[in-house]
Amino acid sequence: VVSLHRLSGESRRRSGLSRRLARAAAGVGETLELTLFPSRCKVCRAWLETPGAKVVCGACLSALAPERAPFCPCCGAFFDGAGEPHYCGACLETPPPFSRHRSLGRYRGPLKEIVLLFKFRGYAVLGRALAEAICAGLGREDGLWWGEPILIPVPLHPRRERERGYNQCSLLALELAKRSGLEAAEGILVRARSAPPQSTLEAAARARNI
């Protein structure tokens, strides 16, 4: 048991070092691109002329403002039209195994493009803008931050994290922790199998995949 524990600890240390090196390499590549090549917004292709602007222009970042449409307080689904938050039919009929879910906005337009850049294109720096938008839009929402919540990022499978260079959920959780004063606890969840990416599946297949 002692030998297995020591081997496991060494594996964790090596895995942690690999993740740090991968993040550092991603950051160096990102910096070189921004320094050596003319910078255009990766969403609308406008020139980044504002001092300090990186990857995405201010106009596209302003699209990270929270959705103001009514929503389901349980699953977070947005409704069309005006009105107050109310439970959707699906949550009333079959309550999900969680009490509350919220989204900053609908997955479309500049918000979708920024999420894809952050998640798949190596622009880890966008985690700061996303965290700022979440805290500004949802940071004071009643019932969302009650008690003593802990931010627990969903892990990537080690193989996929090596390919991507970082876990976007971990970066976002750390940025949220800096701004909210909450604890970001990594290592609580473990990805036990390498499943197909959710982005490649339809809704029903996504549920089965999880």
pLDDT per residue as tens digits for the range 35-79: 555 588 999 999 887 777 789 999 999 889 899 999 999 999 999
Q: pLDDT band for position 4 (50/70/90)?
A: very low
Output the pTM of the full model.
0.73
- Are the C-beta atoms of residues 179 and 146 closer than 8 Å to each other? no
**pLDDT at position 209:** 79
Considering only the C-alpha atoms of the chain, give the largest distance between any 2 of them, rounded to a whole number of Å.
Answer: 62
Assess whether pLDDT exceeds 70 at residue 166.
Answer: yes
Residue 8: how many other CB atoms lie within 10 Å: 10
**pLDDT at position 6:** 39
| Angstrom distance (rounded) from CA 143 to CA 106 | 21
Residue of 161, 165, 179, 57 whose CA lies nearest to 114: 57
**pLDDT at position 142:** 78
Residues 6+ apart with CB under 8 A from 131: 172, 175, 176, 178, 179
Q: pLDDT band for position 192 (50/70/90)?
A: confident
Q: How many C-alpha atoms does 126 have within 13 Å on its Cβ side?
A: 29
**pLDDT at position 114:** 95
Better-predicted residue by pLDDT, 137 or 140: 137
